[in-house]
Structure 1
Amino acid sequence: MLCPQVKKRRVLKSVEEILKIDIKPGWENGTKITFPGKGNKEQGAPADLVFVLGERPHAIFKRDRNDLVVIQKILLADALTGTSLNLTTSDGRDLTIQVTDIVKSGYELVVPNEGMPISKKPGKKENLRIKFDVICPSRLTTQQKCDLRRIQSDADY
């Protein structure tokens, strides 16, 4: 005698629960937040629910581990004579930075404790690194060229 096959039907039960994730300042791209036992039920036991953080690019700052990097344009005259920079930090504070060194190609100014917060050390931040882009004039007069040559011949290298 043939018996009809009986298929077991899985009944899925929808459960709604609000889970709260407190994102801590300084958490890095790829950080995993796990809610044990909050996922789908697999073979009798509920699975873990895992969220993975992703970072969105910032318009001004770039993250390098826990340092923040910013590119600052500076006029050639300011690069040679010094200047004062006004920056708004990633947390919205206004910061004034004095540049007293001569800014050369590849020069980087490090401002301690103005980078990303360190999640495992509350109250501690890494560095803000300012990389300079020196803007040179597009043209000079004959007199300006002579003045620059005179200044350059008097300079110590």
Structure 2
Amino acid sequence: MGVDYYKILGVDRNAKDDDLKKAYRKLAMSFNPRSADDIFAEFFGYSSPFGGMGGGGSGVRGGSRFPGGMGGMFGDDFFGSAFGAGGEGASMYAQHPRKAAPIENRLPCSLEDLFKGTAKKMKISREIVDASRKTMTVEEILTINIKPGWKKGTKITFPEKGNETPNVIPADIVFIIDEKPHDVFAREGNDLIMTLKISLVEALTGYTVHLTTLDGRSLTIPINSIIHPGYEEVVHQEGMPVPKDPSRKGNLRIKFNVKFPTRLTYEQKAGIKRLLAP
């Protein structure tokens, strides 16, 4: 990221030359005399791109609005008197701007939100530095567009929306998707898992599953197989949308917790033996 000289001077990019001179002289008031080229290198962290501050250069890379370089614009001794050795202002700009660490926030989402997709609006307050280098607090609304099928851990980044401070690039604000627990479904990748409690009689004689999907549809799923421990009924294309292709979905996997009786009478045992005898 290049240095924004206009921002440092606190002027508009369309400012006239006289306004630039005044702004620069104002900024230079608190500094002591020193070599212009040395000052530039310390101030901005690299060698002068102006071909020499003393007026011999051709301006900014690729041409400049300042013929003869910035030294030619302000006078040969202007940059030399702009910054002082050891001055407070000099030390403030002596280093390259560093990037502040990202600010991370959890964003809890329901399975319904992650199934259908939604937009969430988050209000933030941040400090910015205006053209006169004064700090002010502003409020912004960030819109997070959640796509169908997004998973826990997905990150949404808003670059440089943190506080502005001198010589620091504002932090990125990062929202990290989290999944709220659901009363009916659990998620495994792109599959949805549903666990039902049924009786032994239902497991042996047949069972019909009635459920409401995450997008509000009613499903009726008859199960005619004998439901044994570990049995799963798989309903294809009724899971979560695949993030890269929401037209495709994972599967709905229905698991069963078969409740066995804790006791049987002699007559019940005898009846079961008669029914189940080979």
TM-score, normalized by the shorter chain, greater than 0.5: yes
Cα-to-partner distance string for 1:42-96 (whole Å, 9 max, x where unaligned)? 6353332211111111111111111111111112112112121111222222111
The equivalent of 1:47 in structure 2 is 171
Aligned to 2:137: 14
Q: TM-score, normalised by structure 1?
A: 0.83
Tell me, yes or no, if the aligned pair for 2:149 and 2:246 is still in contact at 8 Å. no
1:60 aligns with 2:60: no
**Following superposition, which runs of at least 4 residues in structure 1 exceed 4 angstroms of deviation?**
5-8
* Bigger Cα displacement from structure 2, 43-52 vs 91-100: 43-52
Residue 161 of structure 2 aligns with an amino acid whose one-letter code is: K
Distance 2:207 2:246 in 1: 33
Larger RCO, structure (CA 8 Å, separation 6 or more): 1
Name the count of aligned residue pairs.
149
Amino acid at match of 2:182: H
- Residue 98 of structure 2 is matched in structure 1 by none
Larger radius of gyration: 2
The answer for the alignment partner of 2:207 in structure 1 is: 83
CA shift for structure 1 position 30: 0.9
Q: Give the secondary structure class of the aligned counterpart of 1:39.
A: coil
Q: SS state of the match for residue 21, structure 1?
A: strand
Choose which of 26, 34, 37 in structure 1 pairs with 2:157: 34
Q: How far apart in 1 are the matches of 2:88 and 2:163?
A: 25
Please, what is the CA RMSD of the aligned residues? 2.2
**Which secondary structure state, in structure 2, belongs to the residue aligned with residue 103 of structure 1?**
coil
TM-score with structure 2 setting the length: 0.49
Deviations 1:69-128 (A, max 9, x none): 111111211211212111122222211111111111111111111111222112221111
More helix by share: 2
Give % identity: 52
Find the partner of 1:109 among 221, 233, 243. Answer: 233
Structure 1 stretch displaced more, 51-60 or 34-43: 34-43
For structure 1, which runs of at least 5 residues remain unmatched after alignment? none
SS in 2 for 1:86: strand
